[in-house]
Amino acid sequence: MKNQNKKNYHHGELKPALIQAGLEILEEEGLDGLSMRAIAARVGVSHTAPKNHFDGLHGLLAAIATEGFSRHATEMRKGVEHAPPGQERLDAAAQGYVRFARENPALFQLMFSPRFREKAGEELMAAGEESYGVLMSIAKDLNWEKAGPELGNDLESLRTELMLWVFVHGYASLLNEGKLPRTADGEPVFNVLDVMPRFRYNHE
Amino acid sequence: MKNQNKKNYHHGELKPALIQAGLEILEEEGLDGLSMRAIAARVGVSHTAPKNHFDGLHGLLAAIATEGFSRHATEMRKGVEHAPPGQERLDAAAQGYVRFARENPALFQLMFSPRFREKAGEELMAAGEESYGVLMSIAKDLNWEKAGPELGNDLESLRTELMLWVFVHGYASLLNEGKLPRTADGEPVFNVLDVMPRFRYNHE
DNA sequence: GGGAAAAAATTTACATTGGAAACATGAGTG
DNA sequence: CACTCATGTTTCCAATGTAAATTTTTTCCC
């Protein structure tokens, strides 16, 4: 009997509630508004309560970023499901990658914030790799089509994956930082696919 | 007679000294150690002294980032000078871009920190474009070689520039965040040129 | 059930940070 | 010399993250 309307001392679902509150603050106020105290206040608990569930602020931010990677992967998979394998599928994943970054700019910044490079927990790393994995599994298929399974050199495959990832991530990052040219109505002059090399048709 | 050994009340060269101190702290302690008070303390002034020269912490960080972009451009130009025009020149610039990011990781992070997206001063924007310009002028040359000057469609040229920039920046960012695979001795498995599409030889 | 032990939150306190305001210094100028 | 004003300092304050001690609730075992 833990999840009743007894909203007094013990919250009961504080851990996910804090993550949810953090995501909301990111949307409404951006990365700057994301403080320990603000998150706790939004949930309605004291500012030291999170200590029982997370390893300090870093731990809480890492958990929020982890949830971000999960949603990131979901966003990519969304368009991918309905796309035929091959280039179209890859395009859909790339668009999903960028769409997520556009719709969740602050969260995207947090996810790739250098704050975690050293102190990154295991779940965060795993979540990041899940997100990476979506793009990569598609790239792998693409590579097979291009070179044939018998030439599936692992290193060459990895190289192609990285080409793709580096490119899509570079586009999303620069767009997020407002560095890419935009038209008068704020839309980018070029979308990802406009500037993405056709990895599949290298020899075209 | 301002720059003598009278090191008392008035510093005389406080503005550049603060920027220099900030760069040093970035090298030694990373982005986290870069506080207003720490910078002022290193120079030996009170923590409110910078207010006379910069618009708060944001202004000071922006000035440091501006100096960073200047050095970034210099680093790229360095290798470029001795490279023949064309692909080799482009390669040299790309390597310079990445080399700078590797040798100044914290500064690179600051330069592309989302903290300035809205509050960016003019000098910072200009400095960023100088850095961008180095890469782009080379890309433009390349484009000419590829398509011939008579086909110098501005938009197509811009597209090629962005392809290049997006790629190089994506590589540098992911490398900086420790997301790219490395060998046992810490070196990246692939360097920029390994994974950079041959923009010039699209039809090769 | 009852009561000890653990878990979950609170309160209080503290060091650090960025910033504002009032004051102090000294360089330059008439 | 006296005045002015840019440059620094001192003092104060609000906000933040963290630690310690305390209180409340739940769990669990007898």
| Lowest-confidence pick of A142-151, A157-166, B159-168 | A142-151
Chain A positions touching B167 (Cβ under 8 A) are: 166-167, 170
At A23-40, the pLDDT tens digits run 999 999 999 999 999 999
- Is B117 an interface residue toward A (CB < 8 Å)? yes
Q: Return phi, psi of residue A179, to 5°.
A: -95, -15
Half-sphere exposure for A192 (CA within 13 Å, toward CB): 25
Is residue B178 classed as helix, strand or coil in its secondary structure? coil
Chain A positions touching B154 (Cβ under 8 A) are: none
Angle between helix axes B56-81 and B36-43 (nearest 10 degrees) is 70
Could you tell me which residues are beta bridge partners of residue B135? none
The answer to whether B107 and B178 are in contact (CB under 8 A) is no
**Closest approach of B159 to chain A, Cα-based (Å):** 6
The Å distance, CA of B92 to C1' of C5, is 66
pLDDT of B2 over the 60 cut: no
pLDDT interval class at B184 (50, 70, 90): very high
The Å distance, CA of B197 to C1' of D17, is 46
B52 CB-to-strand D distance under 7 Å? yes
The answer to whether B106 and B22 are in contact (CB under 8 A) is no
Position B28, amino acid: E
- Is A179 an interface residue toward B (CB < 8 Å)? yes
- What secondary structure does DSSP assign to B93-160, as a single string? HHHHHHHHHHHSHHHHHHHT-GGGTTT--HHHHHHHHHHHHHHHHHHHHHHHHHH-GGG--HHHHHHH
- Is A65 an interface residue toward B (CB < 8 Å)? no
Is A174 in Cβ contact with B171 (below 8 Å)? no
Position A4, amino acid: Q
Between B117, B190, B204, which is nearest A177 by CB?
B117
The answer to whether B188 and B86 are in contact (CB under 8 A) is no
The Å distance, CA of B51 to C1' of D9, is 12
Is B165 in Cβ contact with A189 (below 8 Å)? no
How confident is the model over A35-53, as a mean pLDDT?
A: 97
| Lowest-confidence pick of A187-191, B121-125, B147-151, B162-166 | B147-151
The Å distance, CA of A56 to C1' of D18, is 8
The Å distance, CA of B39 to C1' of D13, is 22
Identify the residue among B32, B108, B143, B162 best suited for mutation to test binding to A, counting A beta carbons within 10 A and taking the highest.
B162
pLDDT at B160: 84
Q: Which residue in this structure is represented by tokens 């490119």?
A: A167
What is the share, in percent, of chain B residues with pLDDT greater than 90?
A: 66
The answer to whether B40 and B18 are in contact (CB under 8 A) is yes
Write down how long chain B is. 204
pLDDT interval class at A69 (50, 70, 90): very high
Chain B positions touching A177 (Cβ under 8 A) are: 112, 114, 117
H or E segment at B89?
helix B87-103
| Lowest-confidence pick of A57-61, A138-142, B1-5 | B1-5
Residue A199's closest chain B neighbor by CA?
B197
How confident is the model over A150-161, as a mean pLDDT?
A: 74
pTM above 0.85, yes or no: yes
Chain B positions touching A163 (Cβ under 8 A) are: 195-197
Half-sphere exposure for A22 (CA within 13 Å, toward CB): 27
The long-range contacts involving B110-113, CB below 8 angstroms and separated by at least 24 positions, are B110/B26, B110/B31, B110/B34, B110/B61, B110/B64, B110/B65, B110/B68, B111/B65, B111/B68, B111/B69, B111/B72, B112/A173, B112/A177, B112/B169, B112/B173, B113/B31, B113/B61, B113/B65
- Is A144 an interface residue toward B (CB < 8 Å)? no
Q: Tell me which nucleotides of strand C come within 7 A of a protein CB.
A: 7-12, 16-22, 25-28
Average model confidence (pLDDT) across chain A: 87
- Closest to B173 (Cα-Cα) out of A98, A166, A9, A71: A166
**Closest approach of A74 to chain B, Cα-based (Å):** 20
pLDDT at B5: 42
> A182: left (phi > 0), else alpha (psi -120 to 50), else beta?
beta
Average model confidence (pLDDT) across chain B: 87
Query: Which residues 24-43 of A interface with strand D at a CB distance below 7 A?
Result: 35-38
